[in-house]
Amino acid sequence: MCGICGFTGKSDTILLRSMMGSLFHRGPDEEGLFVNDKINLAFRRLSIVDIKSGQQPVHNEDKSLWSIFNGEIYNHKELRGELLKKGHQFYTDHSDSELIVHLYEEYGESFVKKINGMFAIALWNNNEERLLLFRDRMGVKPIFYSSINGKLVFSSEIKTILLHPEYSKEVNAEAIFHYFSFKNIPSPLTAFQGIFCLLPGEVLDYSRGHISKRKWWKVTFKENEGLNEAQTKDTIISLLEDSVRLRMGCDVPFGAYLSGGLDSSLIVSIMAQFTDKPIQTFSLGYKDDLKNKKADLFSAQQVSNQFRTDHYECIMSSKELVDDLEEIIAAFDQPFSGTISTFFLSKLIAKHVKVALSGDGADELFGSYLSHRLAQPMHHLQRMQKKGKE
């Protein structure tokens, strides 16, 4: 997890460093700046790929393009080889970050469609005085922005934008209404008036005070291609294996969240196929459940034993929750209703590895939540009502 931030307009290194400092927890390894009379870019790094030479901001050969980037490009080796054949010159060893400026040189805005990964990208075109912000397809990596007196201010976190002296702090009443209605604040809204979240698969284009947004990617659903159940299962397994393999291709120690449920257990089983070393796995339990043999913690222990992982456990108590509540609220910047237990488990994980895989997304993709299961009978009911009217 890295942190990016910046703003358009005259150089202000003092303000930029203050904003960058608010992101230290996202990238304690290194920092980097690029400043001129039109743009201010800052980066906090958590080193994952190309530890020695992967510093940011990055630039192209003539330094007309500059970029900062939070995320990871899983197909960076293939893309680098493609660009080298086209004559591009790189100054890093195998950094995925440097790819961005060269991909933009070669393919323009459509470069982002070639990336397999998770990312929030800020790309500055010095010749055109143009700033582009890109967010990945699924919105894994966040990026927030605000237009303040004709300037664009952006960051990986809301708290950074609040530091800009020209931003007038004001609560967004509409966002708070949605939070209490739906237990979340729907993007692009945030809890603060005038601060927005870039949507998944969206690009923001800033040029000389004018802002426009457009979708660079939309999810598409294909008709059933005649696959039977066995073929569909094989396809899903193949995609999962490829996805896990790509995410294990980093230059730092990695592990996995292990809840004991089907999703995370499947990820660990696939990881075991691609490494001879013991996988580091991490589980969370509660003091009140330590004697409950049906608790998730015991299921996680069984999975760990099966795949011979180096297993670590975080045992939570209500006292710890109360003690750390302010820190948790500060980390999210705005109201949230998700589980906060992940916060405690992540603190344990950070002591051992820099990267951890999880089973997030499976419930949404395969309709495991009650709201998803209710959708099918509701759909059939609508069809029956329509047929009855006919």
Query: Going by DSSP bridges, is the β-strand pair 130-135/65-73 parallel, antiparallel, or unpaired?
Result: unpaired
Closest CA to 45 of 57, 63, 34, 59: 57
Return d(Cα 109, Cα 70) in angstroms, integer.
18
* DSSP per-residue codes, 284-340: EEEGGGTT-TTSHHHHHHHHHHHHT-EEEEEEE-HHHHHHTHHHHHHHHSS---S-S
What SS3 state is found at 142?
A: coil
User: Phi then psi for 345, rounded to 5 degrees?
Assistant: -65, -40
Cis-peptide into 57, omega within 30 deg:
yes
H or E element at residue 154: strand 151-155
Q: Please identify which residue in the block is written with the tokens 């992540």.
A: 346
Catalytic site includes residue 314: no
Return d(Cα 138, Cα 77) in angstroms, integer.
22
Active-site residue among 2, 197, 250, 314?
A: 2
Residue numbers annotated as active site: 2
